[in-house]
Amino acid sequence: MRNAPTILHLDMDAFYASVEQASKPSLRGKAVVVGGLGPRGVVATASYEARAFGVHSAMPMAQARRLAPHAAYLVPRFSLYRSVSEQVMTLLRALSPLVEPLSLDEAFVDLAASGAATDAESARRTGARLRADIRAVTGLTGSVGLAASKMLAKIASERAKPDGLVLIEPGTERALLGPLPVRTLPGVGPATGDHLRRAGITTVGELAEAGEDELVRLLGKAQGGALYAMALAHDERPVVAEREAKSVSVEDTYDVDIHDRPRIGLEVRRLADRCVRRLREAGLSGRTIVLKVRRYDFSTLTRSETLRGPTDDPAVVREAAERLLDSVDTTGGVRLLGVGVSGLADYTQEDLFAQASSRAEPAPEEAAAEPVAVPREPVLPHWRAGQDVRHAEHGHGWVQGSGVGRVTVRFETPQSPPGRIRTFLVTDPALEPADPLPLVPTAPAPSPTPGLPATP
């Protein structure tokens, strides 16, 4: 293990909810819950104000509403979260070539790889400057942990929350870890924690006292040996630069089970198109198409088809997904559908376009059937809580709620004071969906972090 706290762990504070509060001035300082709003929705993130009522991530949304009935409940805006995340990751990459993202809002950084920090003092300065840069560029706060290993850096960032910095000095690790619960260590989940508790082991200090032989007997050689090493504060895992994606996938969970087979096919085609958009945004293509179906009884089926070469053609992916759907019995209904692409590459193979069977031109002698006009009822716009909108007269705003043919909008921007609320018919032609506005309109370029050479 290192002799200096040069591994940094950044964890943005209540990231999704904080982005929503920064974007919507009327929600700042108030309870905000982000997640699926349907009957089967779950909480993705809760603001610290909502956490005070007991709301937490992965909680069923219905339970969250009972605990915090007056909170603002919003749908996620992942395009905005990804944009803000990329701003943060750009700041981290300016510190070091070794950045290991764990999610949109969390990453490890090896400060020693670039010389950004060589000792406790320079590490603390670098961490403090990073937090200031993140606030200047995004308007958000992040918590920073600094230590000589990844495990301890993550523990430090947890202790720093919210909006703080904690540095663990080398030599103090054992004293810090001793009284902590065993669930603090990576790899100790509920099942392992219960198994250790039944053996009388509840703290990290008791893990160390138990000894390696006893832990191997209880948990097996691999896990027992690894936990004993971590209980002694030994963690040699390096910071690994960004790993290449192994797959790209999208999925949707439906509030009500879908029984209609044509509707299921339509959803699969829509998911295939979304998946291809993500592929193209990442500059990738793939060979294996995967369909995921969770049925009414919670049984989950996956089917896959491997093509002759990589593709990012939506027709090819769409048709492969439809062929896979043909092999799945959806009797009784489905509650979740997903489409993914694996076997990724950074090029496409043009002859794969021939696999799109439905694109074949009809023979000249075949008469084209006349389309039959089927009258349909008009589809009303669907406005979702938290969605960005623009009104021709009132400007930019966001949906507070909708129902009974009406939609309520609060008109405000990230830089405005809390805005006024107005209600419209859901069919109002002056109201339309809009893209999110940047949290900080003109982000200043951060000054060089101490310890790093200035850019010439």
- Measured between alpha carbons, how far is 422 from 406 in angstroms, rounded to an integer? 10
The residues that bridge with 143 in the sheet, in sequence order, are 11
Q: What contacts 322, CB < 8 A, 6 or more positions away?
A: 265, 268, 269
Amino acid at residue number 199: A
Strands 106-110 and 7-12, bridge-based pairing: antiparallel
CA gap 123, 248 in Å, rounded: 36
Contact 150, 9 (CB under 8 A): yes
Token pair listed for 253:
């969970």
User: Which whole-number Å values give the CA distances from 163 to 18, 59, 117, in the listed order?
Assistant: 12, 24, 21
Alpha-carbon distance of 108 to 96, in angstroms, equals 10
List own/partner pairs for 101-108 with CB under 8 A and 24 or more apart: 101/242, 104/15, 105/11, 105/12, 105/15, 105/142, 106/9, 106/10, 106/11, 106/12, 107/9, 107/10, 108/7, 108/8, 108/9, 108/150, 108/153, 108/154, 108/239
158 part of the active site: no
Handedness of CA 31, 34, 39, 41 (dihedral sign): negative
Residues in the chain: 456
Catalytic-role residue among 20, 49, 100, 106: 106
Q: Do the beta carbons of residue 95 and residue 111 sit within 8 Å?
A: yes
Q: Which residues are known to be catalytic?
A: 106
